[in-house]
Amino acid sequence: MTIDHHHYVLCPHCDLVVEFADITLGHKAVCPRCHTTLAKNNTNMKHKSAIYAICSLIMAVIACGFIFIDIRIVGNFNGVSVLDIPRILFFDRYSYISALFILFVLLFPIFNLLIITLLCSKLPLSKYRKRDLLIIYKQLQHWCMPEIFLTGVLVSFVKLMSYGNIGVTSTFWAFCLFVFFYIKALVIFSPEAIWNELHSNNFALEPLKVGRTGIRQNLKLCGCCEAMLPVHYVKCPRCKQKSKLRNRDKIQWTIALLVTSLIIYIPANVFGIMITVLFSSSSTSTIMDGVIYMWQSGDIPVALVIFAASVVIPILKIISLSWLCYFALAVKRKRGHDCLKMKKLYSAVEFIGKWSMIDIFVVSVVCSLVRNQQMMSVYPDIGVAFFATVVIVTMVASQKFDSRLIWDQVKIRK
């Protein structure tokens, strides 16, 4: 099957006007300038997305209802469900981390799955209701982290084995299926296809010139639904959201947020993230203490994962975004291959940014399970709140950056 009509797209990364048609089944349309994927031909997209979303929701209900991990410490048994983790964090007076867990691991992913189910069903939704659902979906998409929590659970097993015997139930496998079906639903689902059902993405008042940038044709891209708009349009006719030709002021926001994250990163590493109470004697461990402990215990791969996610990635993200801001603002003579490298760097920063939350989820799982009041208990420490804030601030900083500023001064070869 193919798409038989010609379609124009304004690339969201490099601002190039691209025309494509007849996308063969299983293939995709790619921007010739920055190699960004612009469209795919997914047959039965609605049907497949709805099936995977419904399956994921069913697995989520099962996973939240029963104990999914347990530990035995010197004859004492302790098990927790997914919902027990934020509850324990809340009673430990870490309501901030508890709220982040509920939002990022449960509520946001479940909301997006419900949105996919509604949009892909045959329910008689008005175009205004579909528009609102698509806007919510886009806002929540960057903050869904069930797959990162699952990775954190697997990493925490290594540390938990030093405390006692770990066991998993069938509910744990239900949570694994929840994550798997969730990822499949997101990969298949195409918000652009739903937007195009509401209205075409082309609001240009003059004929489009393929191979030229939108800014040179007095066009701008809607930041919400990615429609092509004349520069004098204040609001997008399709999604009713305000849009600007370029968000140059957002670079200032990016720089300010990067400075903020760098300041917060210092106490995140200085203060402890976990407190271990053993026979009424307490000790505090920092992020690096956990890495050193894993390394000395022989769990070198796990130590490298935690070190990369908690130390390397935040620093590299701050440096990378700083370099992108410098390149966009200060470099006057830009070449195409240099801009392509910057675009790849930005894509990598966007992808790996939220994976630093692994350490937060490891602490959450360990502190929820190890609660033997007579012998040993583990509690979160203030450093975990600082580190979670660093991750969130850097994620917001990367979203504020407008990648089209990288390409604006590059001449297109005819």
Q: What are the pLDDT digits (tens) for 368-397? A: 888 765 667 778 889 899 999 999 999 999
CATH number of 44-194+238-243: 1.20.140
Does residue 4 carry a pLDDT above 50?
Answer: no
Helices 108-120 and 170-188 sit at what angle, rounded to 10 degrees? 50
Q: Which residue has the tokens 């940038």?
A: 213
* Residue pLDDT, tens place only, 32-70: 888 888 877 767 889 999 999 999 999 999 998 888 888
- 67 forms beta bridges with 81
Does residue 189 carry a pLDDT above 80?
Answer: yes
Amino acid type, 88? I
* Residue pLDDT, tens place only, 60-109: 999 988 888 888 776 677 788 999 999 999 988 889 999 999 999 999 99
Q: Mean of the per-residue pLDDT values for the chain?
A: 85
Cα–Cα distance, 258 to 396 (Å, whole number):
9
Give the per-residue pLDDT at 1.
34
Domain span(s) for CATH 1.20.140 in the chain: 44-194+238-243, 248-409
Q: Which of 156-170, 275-289, 320-334 has the lowest mean pLDDT?
A: 275-289
Please report how many Cα atoms fall inside a 13 Å half-sphere around the Cα of residue 109, on the Cβ side: 30
* Residue pLDDT, tens place only, 219-277: 989 988 889 999 889 899 999 888 887 766 778 889 999 999 999 999 988 888 888 77
End-to-end alpha carbon distance in the chain: 33
**Angle (CA) 233 235 238, round 5°:** 105
What pairing do the DSSP bridges indicate for beta strands 274-278 and 228-230? unpaired
Does residue 112 carry a pLDDT above 70?
Answer: yes
Give the per-residue pLDDT at 137.
95
Give the per-residue pLDDT at 59.
95
Counted residue by residue, the chain has a size of 414
Does residue 402 carry a pLDDT above 90?
Answer: no
Give the per-residue pLDDT at 373.
55
Cα–Cα distance, 308 to 250 (Å, whole number):
28
Of 169, 166, 172, which Cα lies nearest the Cα of 71?
Answer: 166
Query: Which stretches of 297-381 are DSSP H helices?
Result: 300-307, 313-330, 336-352, 358-369
**More confident call, 180 vs 165:** 180
Q: State the DSSP H helix or E strand holding residue 229, giving kind and residue range, or none if neither.
A: strand 228-230
Of 326, 302, 312, 338, which Cα lies nearest the Cα of 411?
Answer: 338
Give the per-residue pLDDT at 182.
97
Q: Which residue has the tokens 């003579």?
A: 333
Task: Band the pLDDT of 284: cuts 50, 70, 90.
Answer: confident
Give the per-residue pLDDT at 3.
38
Q: State the DSSP H helix or E strand holding residue 111, giving kind and residue range, or none if neither.
A: helix 108-120
Domain 248-409: CATH class, spelled out: mainly alpha
* Residue pLDDT, tens place only, 312-345: 888 888 999 999 888 888 887 777 788 888 888 8
Sequence-distant (6+) residues with CB within 8 A of 153 are 69, 361, 365
Q: Are 150 and 175 in contact (CB under 8 A)?
A: yes
Cα–Cα distance, 56 to 51 (Å, whole number):
9
Give the per-residue pLDDT at 273.
84
Q: How far is CA 309 from CA 101, 254, 355, 358, 392, in A?
A: 18, 21, 6, 7, 14
Sequence-distant (6+) residues with CB within 8 A of 329 are 251, 405
Does residue 399 carry a pLDDT above 60?
Answer: yes
